Homo-oligomer: A and B are copies of this chain.
Amino acid sequence: MSQALAQRLLAELSRIRLIDPHSHINPHAPAAKTLADILGYHYYTELAHAAGLPKEHIEEERISPKEKVARLVPMLRHIENTVQYRWLLNLCREFFSFDSDSITPANWEPLYDRALETLAQPNWEAQVLEQSGLDAVFLTNDFDDSLSGFDTHRYIPCLRTDDLVFHLTKAETRQRLASCTKVEFDNPAEFEQALGVLFGHFTRHGARACAISLPPDFEAAPISATVAGRLFATIRSESELPQDDRRLLSQFVFWKLAEKCDEHGLPFDLMIGVNRRVYEGGVYQGQDLFDNRCSLIQYRRLFNAFKRVTFPISVLSHGMNQELVSYSWIFPNVVTNGHWWYSNTPAYIELDCRARLQAVPQTKQIGYYSDMYKLEFALPKFSMYREVLAKLLAEDFVIGRNWTEDKALRLGRLVLRENVERIFPLR
């Protein structure tokens, strides 16, 4: 009975149109061109590499898309158990009418050709959006993105700030900021001015969030004007900043970004817990990992100081989900946001989502985002999430709490769609 019920709920959840609140879509090339854009997604290259394919084979320069796929396909048999492989099969079935149980050296070429043909259709982008039920997709924009040349209602700008917080010591970053804001900055006040111009640019172009990913040892704290002045003076003198000062500079910039979010009414997405370049020999985008020893207590000052800023929070480590639930149940400005990366598998989604549904106000939960680089991945990724959600709504709410199916679906709709609209308001 519970399975039939979950199926019914799933069918209804699948009719809800989506706004995807976090992706890496390039609005100038949102859809895949070939199967290599699909199989080149870092999930597949890193799993293939981890299963034994040398990085050099994957990343050899000037190999054709077809050759790249040809090299990856033989490795797929090692990873057909993974949920990432399941996304791939699901995607190929839905979009390319693939009907085999696995992609093999024997059957990949017709699939490649079929994909090529499908993806070349002039209205493919519109088709994939429609078939995936996507009304809009949040982007991840570099701070010096011009934000022009695309429909910002469909592809919603989002100001990504990792470079500013963690790479301001690089001359290149400072020049990019000066150049895009037309503000030459040599001290904290001028830097703030540049940030103001930046936020103005983004909000004028319809940005609905500021976002950043943070390492496990980052701690949010205000930095005094004196200290900040000293840091900028050191940078100005072109001396190297010592490690401790680099941390202070990151803290300073981060805090200033929160102030700008406050001034401009932008939510600040925090994606907490990633260590960059842990595996330096890894494939492109397949080098980052994490340290589970991280706590939201590191953000207590931030949450207390910026009461008007909403912080949608993603945690990389499943071990932090209980903290996220608890902080969201206490702090008005903390909301739960999706299932990120290494926590984006059904095993962890089910545990994390269940805990959230049981203890966080239903209006404070952003269920899911795709994190995708190509539009084709929204469908299989949201499908995976909806399956888990349907199961939880069936077991914990309809059966466990005797809710009507309609009431359970209203909760589903909040989490899948309505909260995104309310938490990231159109301006």
Q: Which residues on A are within 8 Å of B, measured CB to CB?
A: 46-47, 49-52, 78-84, 86, 101, 275, 278-282, 286-287, 289-297, 300, 303-304, 307, 317-320, 322-323, 325-332, 334, 342-343, 345-348, 351, 354-355, 357-364, 396-397, 400-401, 407, 411
Q: Which residue of B lies closest to A387 (CB)?
A: B400
Assess A289 versus B327: contact at CB under 8 Å? Given A78-B363, A363-B51: yes
- A87 CB to closest chain B CB (Å) equals 12
- A-B CB contact pairs (8 Å), 15 listed: A47-B329, A47-B361, A50-B329, A50-B334, A50-B361, A81-B361, A81-B411, A82-B362, A279-B330, A281-B307, A289-B326, A289-B330, A345-B355, A347-B351, A347-B354
Residue in A49, A279, A327 with the greatest tally of chain B CB atoms within 10 Å:
A279
- Chain B residue nearest to A300 (CB atoms) is B278
Please determine whether B289 and A86 come into contact, CB atoms closer than 8 angstroms.
no
Of the candidates A49, A86, A282, A331, the one having the most CB atoms from chain B within 10 angstroms of its own CB is A331
Interchain CA distance A303-B279 in the complex, whole Å: 8
Min Cβ gap A119→B in Å is 26
Residue contact A292 to B278, C-beta cutoff 8 Å: no
A287 and B330 in contact (CB under 8 A), knowing A80-B362, A360-B82? yes
Are the C-beta atoms of B359 and A83 separated by less than 8 Å?
Answer: yes
The docked-state distance in angstroms from the alpha carbon of A320 to that of B83 is: 20
What B residues does A345 contact at CB under 8 A?
A: 355, 358-359
A273 to chain B, nearest CB (A): 11
- Closest-by-CB residue of B relative to A326 is B342
Report B-chain residues with C-beta under 8 Å of the C-beta of A363.
51-52, 78
In the complex, what residues of B have CB within 8 A of residue A80's CB? 362
A362 and B81 within 8 A (CB): yes
